[in-house]
A and B are shown apart, each in its own frame.
Chain A
Amino acid sequence: MAESRKTIWPLLLPIYLFTLVFVFAPLVYLVVLSFMTRAEVWGAVPRLTLDNYKRILEPLYLRVFAESIRLAVSSTAIILLAGYPFGYFMARMSPRWKKRMMVLLMIPFWTSTLIRLNGWIIVFRSNGVLDKFLMALGLTDRPLKLLYSYPAVLVGMVYALLPYMILSVYSSAEKMDWSLTEAARDLGAGRFQAFVTITLKHTLPGVLSGVILTFIPSMGLFFIADLLGGNKIVLVGSVIQEQLTKGRNLPFAAALSVVLFVLTSLFIALYRRIVHTGEPEGLY
């Protein structure tokens, strides 16, 4: 055992170094920066203070955090509800169709998300594609003013992040041993019971990685809120970006980032707790 650890050490060294330099060091820098004081023109001076964190407690910024969490939770929930069935059924398709679906999923990645979001602006703006369509159908009689609203941002989030959920669920459903589900059916479980007690449990790792891959970005993807929400929807990501560029307040941006980081980690940990230890009562 000790011997094998010794021999594996040189192989792991690059990974440790990489993590140290590119993950750990920036994080430490960020935390340290968040306790410093803003410099006159640009940067920070090493005068330690808690002011940056105190400022986050102002109602204005608390609202921004609440708004961000609300958006992240609801878009992740919608993405999960839409993405799970998609990934699940994709895994049950014939190899030929799997390939086709994979290509369809990859096509959006060929274009920049920014450009694709501009497509949504055309759809959502006043007298845009959606308005014209709804009015032609006689469902509405005047433009809905959907652009620069919460629903528009939500749609943008879901649209941009859905593929990550689909691919995560697909990759774990793909590895699923379907004979287990058959065994459950054979042992007396109905379709739904077999799904909940066996299939769902075996695809949970995919769901978890899908949630992580969508929840974290949806807390921080400021440009979606900027493009589709205008100045009405202000998210933490937008505030951080603004403080960095227009506000030139690096320490405050760092403090916001640290809080965002901690909150996101807390939510993921909470989610893992619920998913791993809690068994849906009555179903199994």
Chain B
Amino acid sequence: MVVFNLTQFSGKELTALPENGRIPRNLVGIGGRINTVSDTILELKKIKKSFGGNTVLNGLDISIGRGEFLTLLGASGCGKTTTLRIIAGLEQPDGGDILLDGESILSKEPNRRNVNTVFQNYALFPNMNVEKNIGYGLKIRKRPKEEIRRRVKEMLEMVQLPGFEKRMPDELSGGQRQRVAIARAVINQPQVLLLDEPLGALDLKLRRQMQLELKRLQKKLGITFIYITHDQEEAINMSDRIAVMRNGVFEQIGTPNEIYDHPETSYVADFVGNANIYRTPDKTYAIRSENILLGGEPECMIPAVVEEKSFAGGQLRILFALEDGQKITASRYGIDYDLNTGERIAIGWKEASAAEVIDNG
């Protein structure tokens, strides 16, 4: 029996929901109480997969809540795409089980799973126009032509491409193709939508815009999103929870705040927000670069030499070398800081901003 943990949802989502005047049925149990049993929509149990003796997934366990936005975050090759393909049914795991709404879907063909995918390259059918692409799922299910036309129109309005029915995929921009791919998946009303780095091919500005739009769409539809990215900023911006993946296991699962402020391992601390890893003989700490104090405060007791100064993304980054050879990066907003290369100062950090982590590289 799955007991749903309320802290899995960030509070803001629950308060944000009644905006449109009603509480989605799927979040409310009998008598308006949060239902504690069926609020898990998807469950992975000890999922294992290897390709030709090469272990890709090594026992994945996770419960995903109804209407949750979960991000699988990890470097390329960590197994996140394989995880998605296994959920979609395009790949069979070697071991473990997948429960969708409490029922094992392991033996079901991809077309029998109430799950849809937005592929990394969108995989739009090049010989069909936008209307046929989006309507494909309904046509396969033999829905009446009139209904298909009407719902495709609704979908196009929802993804803000009204009137695009007759366009061919090669006449669309990257962002437009992306929206069509989402509409094509969502029209089938899946219980879970899988998105494989859907913004990967877009430029930064469009990415930011699409992030907001996807988030808006997800709230409006109330569908569970499982979202893949290797971009930690994107993960933090959009997710209710983030599962940081590495070498085929979830290294840490938590809300963006938990992952950012309380990383459990040095890998997570480094991958999410490039934290400094500071090692003492018996302990390892993660400290964010913005929390490094540069002299003048009582915590500053570690002698350091300025090795390098660089400017990136509106931030000045100062690289320090400590006496034992460890490197610490401090960051400050602004384009210059009164420190020169080679200068010696004492640096430090507040105890609260150093998270003790398991050292795993």
A residues with CB within 8 A of B: 177, 179-180, 182-191, 193-194, 197-198, 201-202, 284
Contacts and interface: CB of A to CB of B under 8 A. Distances in A.
Nearest to B138: A188
Contacts, number: 59
Interface in B155-185: 184-185
Nearest to A179: B123
Contacts of B115: 186
B9 interface: no
B347 interface: no
B136 interface: yes
B12 interface: no
A201 B137 CA distance: 17
Of A189, A197, A198, most buried by chain B (CB within 10 Å of CB) is A189
Contacts of A194: 111
Interface in B247-272: none
A174 B184 CA distance: 26
Given A185-B90, A188-B188, A198 B125 contact: yes
A186 B184 CA distance: 11
B111 A179 contact: no
A168 to B, nearest CB: 19
Contacts of B8: none
A190 B109 CA distance: 8
A190 B123 contact: no
A202 B121 CA distance: 17
A187 B139 CA distance: 10
B275 to A, nearest CB: 36
Interface string B176-207: 00000000110010000000000000000000
Q: For the complex of A and B, list the 8 residue pairs with the smallest distance between their C-beta atoms, beginning with the closest.
A: A183-B123, A187-B137, A185-B110, A179-B123, A188-B140, A186-B117, A188-B137, A188-B111
A191 to B, nearest CB: 8
A187 B190 CA distance: 10
A200 B177 CA distance: 23
B244 interface: no
Of A180, A183, A201, most buried by chain B (CB within 10 Å of CB) is A183
Interface string B86-108: 00111000000000000000000
A119 B313 CA distance: 75
B112 to A, nearest CB: 9
A259 B199 CA distance: 58
Contact of A183 (B117, B139, B141): B117
Interface string B125-144: 11100000000110111000
Of A179, A186, A198, A284, most buried by chain B (CB within 10 Å of CB) is A186
Interface residues of B, number: 23
Given A182-B90, A284-B139, A189 B117 contact: no
A158 B139 CA distance: 38
B116 interface: yes
B90 A184 contact: no
24 contacts: A179-B119, A180-B125, A180-B126, A182-B110, A182-B119, A183-B117, A183-B119, A183-B123, A183-B125, A184-B136, A184-B140, A185-B90, A185-B109, A186-B89, A186-B116, A187-B140, A188-B137, A188-B141, A190-B109, A191-B109, A193-B140, A194-B111, A197-B136, A202-B127
Contacts of B188: 187-188
Contacts of A189: 111, 136, 140
Contacts of A197: 136, 140
Contacts of B89: 185-186
A188 B126 CA distance: 18
Contacts of B116: 186-187
Given A179-B119, A193-B140, A284-B139, A186 B125 contact: no
Given A177-B123, A187-B136, 11 more contacts: A180-B125, A183-B123, A183-B125, A185-B90, A186-B116, A186-B117, A187-B188, A188-B188, A189-B136, A191-B109, A197-B140
Contact of A187 (B90, B127, B184): B184
Nearest to A187: B137
B308 to A, nearest CB: 43
A173 to B, nearest CB: 16
Nearest to A282: B142
B202 to A, nearest CB: 18
Given A183-B117, A185-B90, A187-B188, A201 B140 contact: no
Interface in B39-88: 88
Nearest to B194: A186
Contacts of B184: 187
B40 to A, nearest CB: 23
A186 B140 contact: no
B138 to A, nearest CB: 9
